[in-house]
Amino acid sequence: MNDQPPRSGFASSLLGKSFVHPLFDYLLIGGGLSLLVAGLVHWTVPLAAGGGGQNYSIHARFAWIPMVILLSNSTHFASSTVRLYSKPGTFQALPFLTMAFPLVCLLVTTLCMVYPVNLGTNLQRLYLIWSPYHYAAQAYGLAVMYSYRSGCPLGLNDKRLMRWISMLPFFLVCLGGEGFGLYALLPEAWLAQPTVHGAVMVLKQWLFPLLIFGSPVALFIKIWVTEQKPLPLISLLVLMVNGCWWVIFTDYLQAFTLATIFHGVQYLAIVLIFHVRDQKQRSTNRHGTLYHVLWFYGASLLLGYGLFHCLPWAYRLAGFGVVESMLLVAAAINIHHFIVDAYIWKLGKKDSNRTIVDSDQAPAFV
């Protein structure tokens, strides 16, 4: 897991500075792989349904999805917890988050379980609307990090602009579907009015897709012109890939499923890099990269299986229904992950994250 040596020239500036290898970084962290799969799913599923594109089930077509969800999705949710407890200094820096927050989450989940319709619904709504925000925030963080590593640190205004651009997919999802977003907040009858419905459709089908794909390119050009150096393409890719799921798949269930899987792949790749570097920087370290990768991934996989697949059974044992046990435990784990993530990735000047991001020389720009 060594950084690629700096290359000179314009091409290397465009390519940016990889953590592992350009192919690895672009496919897994940049989200290139998810673009390939998005194309595959988008074009093959309707064909499989006889070309009509109607009444097809992604779960019927992709029977392997539960295994992929375990290996990517569940594991990634658990990995933030593993990272929280294995990252140096977190018990001291984040005492409430590390020590009290799990119990608080458990109590809130149980309370929602007791009142599934009144409280549980709100937990579920929160999870559904926070997910695209979380993915957008991760896209922003990765885009800024690669930009910084690649010798193109962004000014405050460009950062703000990038933040807004990264949030566009989140705003698109906020327009909502049945039961969440605008549709959870505003009266159904008002939203069903032809003019309102028409306006929402124009936003969903035209304006947001245009902004989601057009504004990262505009920002790229702006930075190139004003700063005399380009953003690495991986920063551009990360922003656009995060948008593509919500634009390509108008069925929110498909969009959520696939976006979450590839968000998980992206997350696992980057968290493994940070974990391995943290561990290898320890003076007491005696193990190689493979050991740390296997240890971290194995622990996350085991915890992911325990949280998503075993914990709901404990609630069933306690007398709760299968529906609330499955759905509300998943929602609570998601929200716990979102909150933990907001803290463990901070790049404080003395934080080990900063050391890792700073550890490599930026490529020379010609």
Cβ nearer to other proteins, comparing 19 with 345: 345
Specify the residue, 96 or 228, whose C-beta has the smaller distance to other proteins: 96
Assess 313 for contact with other proteins (CB under 8 A): yes
Site for other proteins in 6-65 (CB under 8 A): none
Which one, 50 or 321, has the nearer CB to other proteins?
A: 321
Q: Closest distance between other proteins and the C-beta of residue 309, in Å?
A: 4
List the interface residues with other proteins, window 266-305 (CB under 8 A).
270, 305
CB half-sphere exposure, 190, CA atoms < 13 A: 6
User: Over 43-55, what HEC string results?
Assistant: HHHHHHCCCCCCC
In 10 A of CB 106, how many CB atoms?
13
Closer by beta carbon to other proteins, 7 or else 346:
346
Residue whose pair of structure tokens reads 């909502």 in the numeric block: 176
Q: List the one residue from 70, 174, 191, 200 that touches other proteins (CB under 8 A).
A: 70
The region of 11-19, 44-52, 198-206, 318-326 touching other proteins under the rule CB under 8 A is 318-326
Q: Could you say whether residue 311 binds other proteins (CB under 8 A)?
A: yes
DSSP state letters, 168-232: HHHHHHHT--TTSTHHHHS-HHHHTSHHHHHHHHHIIIIIHHHHHHHHHHHHHHHHHHHHSSPPP
User: Among residue numbers 190 through 219, which ones bind other proteins (CB under 8 A)?
Assistant: none
Using CB under 8 A, pick the residue from 180, 208, 245, 296 that binds other proteins: 180
Nearer to other proteins, 12 or 84 (CB): 84
CA pair distance 195, 190, nearest whole angstrom: 10
- The answer to whether 150 and 362 have CB atoms below 8 angstroms apart is yes
Q: Which stretch binds other proteins (CB under 8 A): 2-10, 68-76, 196-204, 358-366?
A: 68-76
Q: How many whole angstroms separate alpha carbon 226 and alpha carbon 211?
A: 21
223, 247, 261, 328: which one binds other proteins (CB under 8 A): 328
H helix or E strand, kind and range, residue 358: helix 352-358
120 touching other proteins, by CB under 8 A? yes
